[in-house]
Amino acid sequence: MKKSLLSLLALALALVLPGCLEYETEITLNKDGSGTITEEMVMGAQMIGMMEMTAAQGGQQSNPLTEMKDKEKLNEKAKSYGEGVTFSKTEDISRNDGGKGVRVTYNFTDINKVTFSPSSGMNQLGSLKPGSKIEEQAKDAQATFAYAEGKLTINLPQPDETADADGEKKEGGRKFDPNDPQMAMMAEMMRGMKMSGKVTLADGIAETNATHHAENTITLFEIDFDEMMKDPAALQALGSIDRNNPASAAKALKKVKGAKAESQKEVTATVK
């Protein structure tokens, strides 16, 4: 059963580590078909402070920023992006507001061999475990690329119509109650969270049918939690997400301002 990018994004959002400020994956394509994949994760000062305090007290809480710099794991992670993808380097990110992060760069020689899933970075966040249901669903939600003679085609998975109809019956998780302390705490911890996946053509875009694009960058999916917070109905929609039903989750996110994803089966872009 095929799952859409938005479906897997909904599941990733439901499981993502609280306190993560931003997680972005960007694929940059050169005119010869080679390019880079960069993953950026930035954590807020509050979450970093909590982890440092736990470590100082002898706690065993893992630090995802440290894990994102584990070269052995990154060499393995490179293989998940496709044949010929290799780990290149890591760089520390430091922000004026106290946020810290890591940027990981991978190289590829042929984008035709690259695959991409919106939950590709969730293993660093502790959300995607080997053999888990989310991991199995992620395998069905991989975007693939076809590139020849300056034209890129991004093939995107689409939700199964039958599953979507079934999801209609199962929709209806926990409702958001602003007076519920636990829900209010969750909303506060997720403040500032952003997740996105983008494709950039290094030489520029001459023409594209992408729904969301600016200059030389196509946005495949993006979630901005602060934008969601501006709409009271957004948290209500998040509360209705059924983690076990990607079709239902996708429908819930479509109602949310601050969440967007490409809905076309094929996105094309011509290099300048």
pLDDT at 126: 42
At 159 the pLDDT is 54
| Residue 1 pLDDT | 41
Ordered strands of the 205-208 beta sheet: 115-116, 143-148, 151-155, 266-271, 205-208
pLDDT confidence of residue 42: 87
Domain count, the chain: 1
What is the per-residue pLDDT for 123? 46
Q: Which domain holds residue 135?
A: 5-271
Indicate the pTM of the whole model.
0.75
- How many residues are there in the chain? 272
Instruction: Give the span between the Cα atoms of 140 and 137, in whole angstroms.
Output: 5
pLDDT of amino acid 86: 97
Q: What is the pLDDT of residue 120?
A: 56
> How high is the pLDDT of residue 65?
73
pLDDT, residue 175, reads 55
Residues of the chain with pLDDT under 70: 1-20, 47-48, 50-52, 54-64, 118-141, 158-180, 182-191, 232-255
* Residue 233: per-residue pLDDT: 65
pLDDT score of 208: 97
